[in-house]
C-alpha cells in the first residue's frame, strides 16, 4: 500500500496560523504567575520531613546520644556509614562511637538510618547544599555531624 501525503491547504501552506497559535501560548505565560524560583537568591520552602544532610544528636550532657550499635550502618543500603566503637571515657556510658563517618557521596538520603536508630541519635536536617571541593571533605566525621 502506498501512503499519500496529505495535501496542505493554503493557510497551512504559509505556516502563519500555527506560529500565531504558539506565540499566543508564550504570551499568555509571559503575563501569568511565575513558577521558577530565583535560586540561590531566593530559596524554596523546605517541608518538615525533608531529608537533607545528617546530624548526630546530643544528650543533656552535650555528649553524642549514639551508643555505636551499628544498626544504621547495618541497614544502610549504600554502605555509607562507618563506625568504630570503643569503651566510653564517661563512666555512665559503656560504649560510644570513637569514629562515626558518613560518606555523603555514597549516601542516597533514604533516611533508613534515622528510622533504625534505637536511641534517636541521628536525624536529618534541611541542609541540602552539600557541594564541596574535594571528596575527602564529603566524608563527614563525628565532629562535623555533631555540630
Binding site for other proteins (CB under 8 A): 67-71, 74, 85-87, 94-95, 118-119
Task: Work out how close the CB of 122 gets to other proteins at its nearest, in angstroms, rounded to a whole number.
Answer: 13
Which of 111, 106, 107, 138 minimizes the C-alpha distance to 122? 111
- Any idea which residue has 556510658 for its cell? 93
Q: Three-class SS of residue 108?
A: coil
As measured in angstroms, the least distance from the Cβ of 93 to other proteins is 9
Nearest residue (CB) to other proteins, 53 versus 67: 67
The nearest distance, CB 31 to other proteins, in angstroms, is 60
Closer residue to other proteins (CB): 53 or 83: 83
84, three cell numbers = 568504630
Q: Where are the beta strands (DSSP E) in 18-146?
A: 54-56, 81-87, 95-103, 122-124, 139-140
Question: In angstroms, rounded to a whole number, what is the distance separating the alpha carbons of residues 83 and 72?
Answer: 9
**Distance from CA of residue 19 to its chain's centroid?**
41
Q: Which residue has the cell 541521628?
A: 122
Measured from the CB atom, the residue of 96 and 140 that comes closer to other proteins is 96
Q: Grid coordinates in use for 129?
A: 547544599
Task: Using the minimum distance from each CB to other proteins, give the nearer residue, 40 or 118.
Answer: 118
Considering the complex, what minimum distance in angstroms separates the CB of residue 25 from other proteins? 59
Q: Which is nearer to other proteins, 57 or 70 (CB)?
A: 70
Minimum distance from CB of 69 to other proteins (Å)?
4
Amino acid at each position: 500500500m502506498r501512503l499519500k501525503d496529505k495535501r496542505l491547504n493554503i493557510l497551512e501552506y504559509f505556516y502563519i496560523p500555527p506560529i500565531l497559535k504558539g506565540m499566543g501560548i508564550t504570551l499568555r505565560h509571559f503575563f501569568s504567575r511565575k513558577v521558577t524560583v530565583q535560586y540561590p537568591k531566593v530559596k524554596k520552602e523546605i517541608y518538615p520531613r525533608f531529608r537533607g544532610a545528617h546530624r548526630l544528636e546530643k544528650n543533656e550532657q552535650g555528649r553524642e546520644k549514639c551508643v555505636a550499635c551499628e544498626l544504621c550502618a547495618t541497614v544502610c543500603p549504600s554502605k555509607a556509614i562507618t563506625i568504630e566503637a570503643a569503651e566510653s571515657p564517661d563512666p555512665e556510658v559503656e560504649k560510644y562511637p570513637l569514629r562515626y563517618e558518613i560518606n555523603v557521596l555514597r549516601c542516597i538520603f533514604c533516611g533508613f538510618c534515622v528510622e533504625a536508630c534505637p536511641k534517636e541519635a541521628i536525624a536529618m536536617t534541611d541542609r541540602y547544599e552539600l557541594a564541596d571541593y574535594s571528596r575527602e571533605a564529603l566524608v563527614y566525621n563525628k565532629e562535623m555531624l555533631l555540630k
